[in-house]
C-alpha cells in the first residue's frame, strides 16, 4: 500500500497515520529477523539469522523426512556479534557468524556453510505477491512483517558425502522477514502451507487486538488478504495431534508428521518453539467468495515463546 510518510518518528515511535515499511534506523533493542524454510520431498531445511541488538539468535535445521533424523544447530551470540543485516527485505545480504554457525542470505541466494552441511538454493521473487503489514502494539512497540510463501527453489543440499538436488514443482521456499521494536516477551502461532499454485499463511496470538493480521491466501500468483483473527485449537500435551485454525475465511486442519522442540537461551534472550511439520486439509475463501481447497499443502505449524 502507498506510504504517506514514515511509520516511525525520529524518536523511534510509531506514527499511527500511515501503514508503510520502516525506514532504515538504529532503534535500540530493535529486532531484525530473517527466516527461510525450504521443503522438498526428501528434506525440510530451516535457516534463521537475527539481530536483537543485545544478542543474536541463529539456527540451521535439517530434517530427513524418510528417517525422521534431525540435524539442528542453534546458537545465541552476544551482543549480535558477527551479524550483518540488510536495511530492507529482498535487498542486500544478511550474514551471521558465531558459535560454530555461519549463514549467508544474499537476496535470492541462501547458504549455510560448515563442514558436512551446505544447503544452497535460488528462488525468483520478482513480481511475487507477499503478505505485508505493520503490527502496532503501541506507540513504542511495533513490527513490520513480510511473509513470502511458495517461492520456487532450486539448488543442492549437501550432507556429508551425500547430495540431494532441489527443484521441481514439489519444492518450495518460504520467507519470514521481520523488523521493528518488539515487546521484550512475545508468543505467536504460525502456520504456512504450500503446493503448486497455492499457499496459505495463518498466524495468530501476537497480532490479536491490534487490528492487523499477517494472514493471506496465495492463489495462482495473486494474494487474497485474510483480515480476521482465526482461532487456534491444539493440544500442548500431544503436539502431534491435529491442529485446527478456523475463522470466517479459513477453516484448516493441520496434521503433523514430525515435531521439533527447540530451546535456546543466554541471559535476557530465550526462545522455546514447537514447530511441527505436516500437511493441511480444509479450505480458505478467496476475495471473490470462492472457497479454495487446501488439501495436500505441505508446511508447518508452530507455537513459539520468546523473551528478548
Place of cell 521456499: 173
Nearest to 130 by CA among 39, 231, 21: 21
The CA-atom distances, in angstroms, between 161 and each of 77, 116, 118, 158, 247 are 30, 8, 11, 7, 47
Q: In what order do the strands lie in the sheet with 101-106?
A: 83-84, 93-98, 101-106, 109-112, 117-122, 154-159, 162-166
H or E segment to which residue 281 belongs? strand 276-285
User: What are the residue ranges spanned by the domains of the chain?
Assistant: 31-307
Three cell numbers written together for 267: 541471559
Looking at residue 120, its pLDDT comes to: 52
Express each pLDDT in 4-45 by its tens digit: 444 444 455 655 655 444 444 444 568 888 999 999 999 999
Report strand pairing: 101-106 vs 109-112: antiparallel
Q: Would you call the peptide bond into 79 cis, given omega within 30 degrees of 0 as the criterion?
A: yes
Across residues 65-88, what is the average pLDDT? 85
Reported pTM: 0.83
Residue 55 pLDDT = 80
Question: 126 pLDDT band (50/70/90 cuts)?
Answer: very low
CB 54 within 8 A of CB 268: yes
Residue 23 confidence (pLDDT)? 47
Looking at per-residue pLDDT, the higher value among 232 and 178 belongs to 232
Of 129-143, 205-219, 272-286, where does the model show the most confidence?
A: 272-286
The pLDDT-based confidence of 65 (bands split at 50, 70, 90) is very high
Name the band, by pLDDT with cuts 50, 70 and 90, for residue 267: low
Could you tell me which residues come within 8 angstroms of residue 82 by beta carbon, excluding any fewer than 6 positions away?
56, 96, 97, 98
Supply the mean pLDDT for the chain. 82
pLDDT exceeds 90 at position 191: yes
> How confident is the model over 202-234, as pLDDT tens digits?
998 888 888 888 899 999 989 999 998 899 999
Q: What CA–CA distance (Å, rounded) separates 301 from 277?
A: 7
Cα separation, 307 vs 268, in Å, equals 7
Q: Is the pLDDT reported for residue 75 higher than 80? A: yes
How far CA 82 is from CA of 54, 100, 177, 233, in Å, comes to: 12, 12, 19, 39
Could you give the angle at the alpha carbon of 255 between the alpha carbons of 251 and 256, nearest 5°? Answer: 140
Q: Kindly give, in sequence order, each residue whose CB lies less than 8 Å from that of residue 155, ignoring residues fewer than 6 positions away.
A: 119, 120, 121, 122, 165, 166, 167
Separation CA 47–CA 58 (nearest Å): 8
Greater pLDDT, 129 or 306: 306
Look up residue 178 and give its three cell numbers.
521481520
* Grid cell at residue 41: 520431498
Residue 265 has pLDDT above 70, yes or no: no
Amino acid at each position: 500500500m502507498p506510504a504517506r510518510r514514515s511509520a516511525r518518528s525520529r524518536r523511534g515511535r510509531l506514527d499511527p497515520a500511515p501503514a508503510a515499511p520502516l525506514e532504515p534506523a538504529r532503534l535500540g533493542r530493535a529486532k531484525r529477523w530473517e527466516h527461510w524454510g525450504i521443503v522438498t520431498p526428501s528434506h525440510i531445511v530451516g535457516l534463521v539469522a537475527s539481530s536483537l541488538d543485545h544478542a543474536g539468535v541463529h539456527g540451521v535445521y535439517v530434517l530427513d523426512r524418510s528417517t525422521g533424523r534431525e540435524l539442528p544447530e542453534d546458537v545465541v551470540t552476544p551482543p549480535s556479534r558477527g551479524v550483518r543485516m540488510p536495511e530492507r527485505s529482498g535487498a542486500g545480504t544478511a550474514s551471521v557468524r558465531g558459535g560454530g554457525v555461519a549463514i549467508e542470505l544474499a537476496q535470492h541466494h541462501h547458504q549455510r556453510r560448515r563442514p558436512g552441511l551446505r544447503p544452497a538454493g535460488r528462488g525468483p521473487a520478482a513480481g511475487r505477491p507477499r503478505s505485508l503489514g505493520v503490527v502496532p502494539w503501541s506507540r513504542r512497540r511495533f513490527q513490520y512483517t513480510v511473509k513470502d510463501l511458495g517461492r520456487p527453489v532450486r539448488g543442492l543440499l549437501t550432507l556429508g558425502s551425500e547430495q540431494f538436488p532441489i527443484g521441481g514443482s514439489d519444492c518450495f521456499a518460504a520467507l519470514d522477514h521481520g523488523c521493528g521494536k518488539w515487546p521484550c516477551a512475545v508468543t505467536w502461532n504460525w502456520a504456512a502451507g504450500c503446493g503448486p499454485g497455492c499457499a496459505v499463511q495463518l498466524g495468530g496470538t501476537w497480532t490479536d487486538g491490534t487490528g492487523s493480521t499477517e494472514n493471506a491466501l496465495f492463489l495462482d500468483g495473486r494474494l487474497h488478504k485474510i483480515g480476521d483473527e482465526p482461532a487456534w485449537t491444539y493440544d500442548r500435551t500431544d503436539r502431534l495431534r491435529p491442529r485446527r485454525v478456523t475463522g470466517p475465511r479459513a477453516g484448516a486442519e493441520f496434521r503433523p508428521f514430525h515435531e521439533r522442540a527447540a530451546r535456546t537461551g543466554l541471559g535476557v534472550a530465550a526462545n522455546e518453539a514447537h514447530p511441527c511439520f505436516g500437511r493441511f486439509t480444509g479450505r480458505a475463501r478467496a476475495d471473490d467468495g470462492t472457497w479454495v481447497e487446501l488439501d495436500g499443502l505441505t508446511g508447518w505449524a508452530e507455537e513459539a515463546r520468546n523473551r528478548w
